Amino acid sequence: MNKDFTCLFAGEAGYGVMSAGSTLAKAAGRNGLWAFVVNEYPSLIKGGLNTCLVRLAASPLQAHEESLDFFAGLSQEGLEQNYSRLKPGAALLVDTAIKVESSRLPSDVRVYLLPLIQKGSGDVAKIMSNSAMLGAFCAISGFPLELVETVLAGEFKPEVFAKNRELLRAAFELAAEQAVVASFPLPVGANPAQKMLINGNDAISMGAIQAGCKFAAGYPMTPGSSVLTYLADHGPQFGLVFKQAEDEIAAMNMLIGAGYAGVRAIGSTSGGGFALMVEALGFAGLAEVPVVMVNAQRGGPSTGQPTRTAQADLAFVINSSQGEFPRIVLAVGDVEECFVETFRAFNLAEKYQIPVIILTDKYLADSSVTHPFFNTNGLTIERGKLADETWLAANRPYKRYEFTDDGVSVRAVPGMAGGRHIATSYTHGEDGFYSSGNREYAATEPEITVKALDKLFAKEPHILAELPAVKLHGPETADLTLVAWGSTKGAALEAMELAKAAGLSVNLLQVLYMSPFPAAAVEAVLGKAKHTLLLEGNKTAQLGALIRMHTGIYIDDNYLKYDSRAFTPSLILEKIKEVLA
């Protein structure tokens, strides 16, 4: 494992600590390093405590770590909450207004008290405090100042940049007087391969655009909203229309309308919004309308914890809505999967005429990572059994819901000659007609009901055969098999590497597609496992329960983390050692 370097920028909302962090991460990323950036913020606009953690290393990172090599703080509260995370020998940079209790510092911590917050000139000065913080950071850590300048130059208008550079340099000089200027502990140098600093929600949005998505609708709910913001902002140049709906119920129904009319459509929300959508989710399921939904999980039932992370919606999402109908639920684990699997989600939605739900969470949605440019070669759009007018002319009468072996029937969309039909939320027969009440159908109702449900579920084996439902990371066999899903993937993978370095034999089963549940694939891996450890960001071991239900396999040990923060590699390593001891 590479040596890594973690810096935490902390300050009240409004002081730009997040942009300080992303500026450093971008500068590092453009110059051969790799970053993982985690933003933590309470649900308020001004005040409170925002932190931005930037972890840097010489090779790709997939998670953050708790302990800090550098703390740069603009608020007393920020320091109070983070004393315990400082590593021995760390550097501590704080504004002069902040009181540092030396007794709470670990050994050899160097403290730099500098006037970082510009006094007296209102919000503008406040926002620029982050430039001062970055300038001093460079002097103290030895991170090249001109790299930071280049990033800022690209982000601001010339006048604004000039002001920030002035401040950046002034703080650098001031800090250089106090600091024994260190050389930055990682090899900073130019790297020709283009990389992005990207978060999960941006990657999902790009996947949607690449897939030809032309319609998005939603109602803002953190942390799902940023997909909508991205598409509202960047979508129009790709011919995409975003509609802010009056509520989530409207949003989901608009998506269904668009999907029925033949347009690829996406929505994004968090648990509470998703809860409002579930009646319509069942409608999409029964009417076989393709639609893609993102549920970015946050903490808690109800309003819960808007800006904190959790993996606790799994059981709800796979079971949401009344009655029985298949849906595809996909739990992306990293930025690459956010992009590629979102692209695939649109193909799956149309090929199987089924709602697809992308399950992500605040940690993945909101954390940025240095990532190579996405490779779009080989991403092919597949629309499945979509009719055209020639087919419709040759196949009369058209039956929208014709019973077929794979449960999928040819889909016509409004405007196509010869494809007129009814798509309906009522249980229906092959022509889409209501199975009950009407004389024409009354006698055959029980039969139609069974056939209609069998038709929907006939899709499942075909979906399962096509999906990359699970991924086994690491060696084929190991003394301990970790089982994880979603954003826990990153920390689990790194923990696996750490364990290997410590001479332990560990592999990781990642369940990527949760519904239909890939029982055979999971069983194949777990059947060979010697000892198993489940890692989940919830209290009730929801994936564990699914595995038990579908395979009868009990996971040996659980590590459940439901404190509203994500797993870290070192925490998982500790648990691995405990289990294998």
Least separation in angstroms between CB 494 and another protein: 23
**Among residues 375 and 540, whose Cβ is nearest to another protein?**
375
Residue type for 203, please? A
**Among residues 265 and 573, whose Cβ is nearest to another protein?**
265
Q: Give, in order, the Cα–Cα distances in Å from 300 to each of 37, 481, 559.
A: 24, 29, 18
Take residue 193 and report the two structure tokens written for it. 């391969």
Least separation in angstroms between CB 282 and another protein: 9
Least separation in angstroms between CB 97 and another protein: 35
Question: Would you call 211 helix, strand, or coil by DSSP?
Answer: coil
Least separation in angstroms between CB 500 and another protein: 32
**Among residues 95 and 248, whose Cβ is nearest to another protein?**
248
CA distance 297 to 468: 22
Count of beta carbons in the 10 Å neighbourhood of residue 390: 9
**Among residues 311 and 435, whose Cβ is nearest to another protein?**
435
**Pair 341, 209: CB distance under 8 Å:** no
Least separation in angstroms between CB 41 and another protein: 21
**Pair 217, 245: CB distance under 8 Å:** yes
> What order of strands is seen across the sheet that includes strand 110-114?
110-114, 86-95, 68-73, 4-13, 47-57, 34-40, 368-372, 195-199
Take residue 463 and report the two structure tokens written for it. 């979906």
**Among residues 196 and 314, whose Cβ is nearest to another protein?**
196
CA distance 312 to 309: 9
Least separation in angstroms between CB 413 and another protein: 7
Least separation in angstroms between CB 29 and another protein: 8
Pairing of strands 470-473, 506-511: antiparallel
Pairing of strands 532-536, 480-484: parallel
**Among residues 79 and 206, whose Cβ is nearest to another protein?**
206
By CB under 8 A, name the binding residues for another protein.
Answer: 30, 194-198, 202, 206, 209-212, 214-215, 217, 234, 236, 238-241, 243, 245-247, 249-251, 253-265, 279-280, 283, 287, 373-374, 376, 381, 383, 413-426, 433-434, 437-440
**Among residues 243 and 550, whose Cβ is nearest to another protein?**
243
Least separation in angstroms between CB 357 and another protein: 18
Least separation in angstroms between CB 369 and another protein: 11
Q: Where are the beta strands (DSSP E) in 29-101?
A: 34-40, 47-57, 68-73, 86-95
Least separation in angstroms between CB 292 and another protein: 13
**Among residues 14 and 272, whose Cβ is nearest to another protein?**
272
The full 3-state SS of 370-384, as one line of letters, equals: EEECCCCCCCCCCCC
Least separation in angstroms between CB 110 and another protein: 34
**Among residues 383 and 531, whose Cβ is nearest to another protein?**
383
Question: Would you call 536 helix, strand, or coil by DSSP?
Answer: strand
**Among residues 156 and 433, whose Cβ is nearest to another protein?**
433
Task: State the DSSP string of 150-173.
Answer: HHHHHHS-HHHHHHHHHHHHHHHH
The full 3-state SS of 269-287, as one line of letters, equals: ECHHHHHHHHHHHHHHHHH
**Among residues 193 and 581, whose Cβ is nearest to another protein?**
193
Q: Give, in order, the Cα–Cα distances in Å from 202 to each of 152, 154, 181, 368, 370.
A: 21, 20, 37, 9, 13
